[in-house]
Structure 1
Amino acid sequence: MSDIPQTAPQAPPLGQAFFYWLKLGFISFGGPMGQIALMHTDLVEKKRWISEHRFLHALNFCMILPGPEAIQLAIYISWLMHGVLGAVMAGVLFFLPAFLLLSLLAGAYLAWGDVPLMQGLFYGIKPAVVAIVLFAAWRIGSKALKNSVLWGIAAAAFVAIFVFGVGFPWIVLVAALLGVIGGKVMPDKFRGGGGHGASDKAYGAAVIDDHTPTPPHAQFSWLKLGMTVAAFVTIWLVAMLVVGGQQTLNDMGSFFTKAAFLTIGGAYAVLPYVYQGGVEHYGWLTGPQMIDGLALGETTPGPLIMVVTWVGYLGGVTKAVFVNPLAAGFAGAAVATFFTFLPSFLFILSAGPMVESSRNDLKFTAPLTGVTAAVVGVIMNLAVFFAWHTFFPQASTATPFTAPFEWFAVLVAVGAFVALWKYKADVMHVISFCAAVGLTYTLLPPLF
């Protein structure tokens, strides 16, 4: 154990943190669980900016919030380190690259109909995403599931969602209730992370360690809570006034605000709602265009809910919110993205101080520990879901194993997982290599 650092690294200045969050925005592939695993590797294991306990406590909280949990975790950690400015910086940089990329892809999509080069790249990226999500389940599960009770909750959650199709919000609710009961009946089983000091033993002392006092800006007060909520309500009202002169943009502002409060369970829980509103009610895009946008959203960096950028761009052009199609598309994309993510900042900045004040109180932490265990099972379901649609791209629920079977994608996924698990390869390197392999394979003549 002598090689484990006993002294915490120097706290990173805001500029250093800026470049990390910017980099993360460009390499955050793999959906929310892949992004969370990437942050865990960087911030807990390598940089040691935050301890395992503090990381998991923040993650547990973000899991029960509406909205994209990965970006909320980034906002939380950066807020803890650098206050409100850090929170805004991390949150914006997390989705900004995806916003720009999806807007550009949407413009190209409307102009040329398809993007063959990108499709070749995505052919390699999709199986890499399967490996990243599976690796995330293993990484988070091995850290969070410290006893048979938590393993049981994870297994039950997987069966509930995979076999019976139980909604994620119900799984979270039941897991939290089990945590409440378990914290009273068997408290030792629901002390998350294996007890204080576990993270030190694994990775060494961190800048924000298990016993590091809550910084002044993160301490709770009712006055601060009221001022924060009032500030966000004001921002929302002003933004609605700005877009209020254009009916489509006004509709987007209202619609995506509602969507943001319905995303308990992540993007997949709200996609049917977005599809129904964007395609069937408002007619911003067609069903096939929505599916194409989802495929791009799954294989570009940033949260999967960034598909709202695609919906907003196509809606802005379809409804001609401006004469210039480029301006119309970017306006729609900006409005959809802004109103989708604004509540995430509200949730963290308003409730974060209460969460920090509860981290040593078992009656608050035990339910969150139960939620984390259930989430591991949900991640496994997500890995199976991605694998199914990647290896059997034409399959459906009625015919789950419809040919063709993409044997090459299986080989890429296995290779990517081995690279991540055995050789500790960098996620970005794995994605880049798999993308190049996929492009090469699609350009070559068929082997059989």
Structure 2
Amino acid sequence: MTDVPDASLKIPAFGEAVRAYARIGWLSFGGPAGQIALMHREFVDERRWVDESTFLHALNFCHLLPGPEAQQLATWIGWRLHGFRGGLAAGLLFVIPGALVMLGLSLLYVTAAGLGWFAALFVGIKAAVLAIVVQALLRIAGRALQTPLLRGIAVASFVALAAFAAPFPLVVLSALVAGWAAARWRPGWMKLAPAKNGAAPPRRSAWRESLTAALLWGAIWAAPMLLILVTLGRDHVLWDIGAFFSQLAVVTFGGAYAVLAYMAQAAVSGFGWLRPGEMADGLGLAETTPGPLILVTQFVGFLAAWRDAAPFTPFVAALLGSLLTLWVTFAPCFLWIFAFAPWIDRLERAAGLKGALAAVTAAVVGVIANLSLWFALHVLFRRLEPTAGGLDLPVLASVDWPAVLLAGLAFLLLFRFRLGIIPMLAICAAGGLILGLGGPLLDFA
């Protein structure tokens, strides 16, 4: 990647930019790394709408925020090129294609669940997802755990979640505080790049822009919840969906993998929205769609409303649950970008924030390690038994040998032959069909 001279930058017409955003929305497979690489090629290398340093500067800024960094980067680039309408267009078009595909796949999931081939298909997909999560764990660990302190935060996060079932928000908050304190008083423990000096104060209009954006998007974020409160009340499943995913939107540092185990615990054991193993199905579906992987939340909202539909039909309730989940997941993303974008230069110089982000990223390694363990237990064993300490341990006699075989195939394809995620998912799904796996079929009636 080479720097693009400022003189060569082009300001596109709004219509041309919208067409580029739509193209990226439909082609953004492969998780955040692939999506960011796609945007770099489109906006920096080929179209020369953004220079290299600005692109990386914006990416660092997006890493400071909760939510999917690739979608927020797209929103920021749209904001930089065409202001509010540009950011809105870029952010929405990054999400809408994948959301439409996920809606269709979720409907297929609930309507085809009584078919034996469908159950066999998802045994292969779950085995593939286990390999994908382990790959994400290794990649993030290699990048994030550069010091003993950061490695200690990762281990502590894993132990807190796996052994003590600590609440996910508490783990994130603890890491934020530890990272901020270390950056302020022991910066050598974090190996942070030195903060830039001489930061110019933000222009006066930045205060007005930030306040306006916070009020506007805060109102947009809250609007459907107020409507549900007035029409259906706090006891309805849609209120629970909106409240839970609004909370999740504030603590979603590290992407979908980081919150999946916490989401599964709440959705399965807390609310009873999903059955064990279905979260792996949802992530498998999200891996096959364009857009951010956090669209797995849409799958959860769809199933939750489908199974508790009154006073609506299951399809109408599921559609409302799906749309509500998308709303409260992504409205905060627009709030963060539009409120903080005018301050990006000042944030880049904030050592405390950098330390907090580094510590949260280290904690995310522990969180994903816990998710890997959770997936492995639910994919490779048919039965788990709770212990006196509240942990679920596998019944060794219930090992699912065909699932073990498919998981081994997935690891081989991903790590030895470096096959892409979509082809690997397809091969493992076909392997599940060939082996004729099924197990207890899900009852969505």
TM-score by length of 2: 0.73
1:419 aligns with 2:419: no
Q: Corresponding residue for 1:81?
A: 77
Q: For 1:57 and 1:117, how far apart are their aligned partners in 2?
A: 45
Higher mean C-alpha deviation, range 170-179 or range 417-426: 417-426
Map 1:320-399 → 2, pairs under 5 A: 320-321=311-312, 326-327=315-316, 329-354=318-343, 357-398=346-387, 399=393
Check the 8 A contact 1:191/1:362 in 2, yes or no.
Answer: no
Residue 396 of structure 1 aligns to a residue whose secondary structure is: strand
Check the 8 A contact 2:305/2:321 in 1, yes or no.
Answer: yes
Q: For 2:420 and 2:103, how far apart are their aligned partners in 1?
A: 24
The offset of 1:375, in angstroms, is 0.9
Q: Corresponding residue for 2:424?
A: 430
Check the 8 A contact 1:124/1:409 in 2, yes or no.
Answer: yes
Residue 118 of structure 2 aligns to a residue whose secondary structure is: helix
Find 1:440's aligned residue among 402, 421, 434.
434
Find 2:262's aligned residue among 269, 273, 278.
269
Q: Corresponding residue for 2:297?
A: 305
Q: For 1:119 and 1:8, how far apart are their aligned partners in 2?
A: 50
Q: Which amino acid aligns with 1:157?
A: S
* 1:82–1:341 CA distance, 2 compared to 1 (3 A): closer
* 1:235–1:120 CA distance, 2 compared to 1 (3 A): same
Q: Which amino acid aligns with 2:141?
A: G
Q: For 1:181 and 1:238, how far apart are their aligned partners in 2?
A: 37
Q: Percent identity?
A: 23
Q: For 2:205 and 2:57, how far apart are their aligned partners in 1?
A: 20
Q: For 1:299 and 1:293, how far apart are their aligned partners in 2?
A: 10
The offset of 1:358, in angstroms, is 0.8
Q: Which amino acid aligns with 1:95?
A: A
Q: Which amino acid aligns with 1:262?
A: Q
Q: Which amino acid aligns with 2:398?
A: P
The offset of 1:56, in angstroms, is 5.4
Check the 8 A contact 1:312/1:335 in 2, yes or no.
Answer: no
The offset of 1:87, in angstroms, is 1.5
The offset of 1:185, in angstroms, is 3.5
Check the 8 A contact 1:75/1:348 in 2, yes or no.
Answer: no
Map 1:202-351 → 2, pairs under 5 A: 221-235=206-220, 239=224, 247=232, 251-263=236-248, 264=251, 266-271=259-264, 274=267, 290-291=275-276, 294=279, 296-301=281-286, 302-303=293-294, 304-306=296-298, 307-316=300-309, 319-321=310-312, 326-327=315-316, 329-351=318-340
> What's the C-alpha RMSD, in Å, of the aligned pairs?
4.0
Q: For 1:122 and 1:411, how far apart are their aligned partners in 2?
A: 14
Q: Corresponding residue for 2:138?
A: 138
Residue 312 of structure 2 aligns to a residue whose secondary structure is: coil
> Across the two proteins, how many residue pairs are aligned to each other?
390
Q: For 1:140 and 1:48, how far apart are their aligned partners in 2?
A: 25
Q: Which amino acid aligns with 1:151?
A: R
Check the 8 A contact 2:144/2:362 in 1, yes or no.
Answer: yes
The runs of 5 or more residues in structure 1 that have no matched partner are 29-34, 63-68, 197-209, 280-286
Higher mean C-alpha deviation, range 92-101 or range 362-371: 92-101
Q: Which amino acid aligns with 1:140?
A: I
The offset of 1:101, in angstroms, is 1.6
Q: Which amino acid aligns with 1:408?
A: P
The offset of 1:369, in angstroms, is 0.8
Q: Which amino acid aligns with 1:309?
A: F
The offset of 1:243, in angstroms, is 6.5
Deviations 1:363-408 (A, max 9, x none): 2211111111111121112112111211113123334234321233
Map 1:158-237 → 2, pairs under 5 A: 158-192=158-192, 221-235=206-220
Q: Corresponding residue for 1:66?
A: none
Q: Which amino acid aligns with 1:163?
A: A
* 1:272–1:243 CA distance, 2 compared to 1 (3 A): same
TM-score by length of 1: 0.72
Q: Which amino acid aligns with 1:141?
A: A
Residue 165 of structure 1 aligns to a residue whose secondary structure is: coil
The offset of 1:305, in angstroms, is 2.0
Residue 403 of structure 2 aligns to a residue whose secondary structure is: helix
Q: Corresponding residue for 1:103?
A: 107
Q: Which amino acid aligns with 1:138?
A: L
The offset of 1:229, in angstroms, is 2.8
Residue 334 of structure 1 aligns to a residue whose secondary structure is: helix
Check the 8 A contact 1:149/1:189 in 2, yes or no.
Answer: yes
Deviations 1:290-320 (A, max 9, x none): 557545424311433221112123333xx14
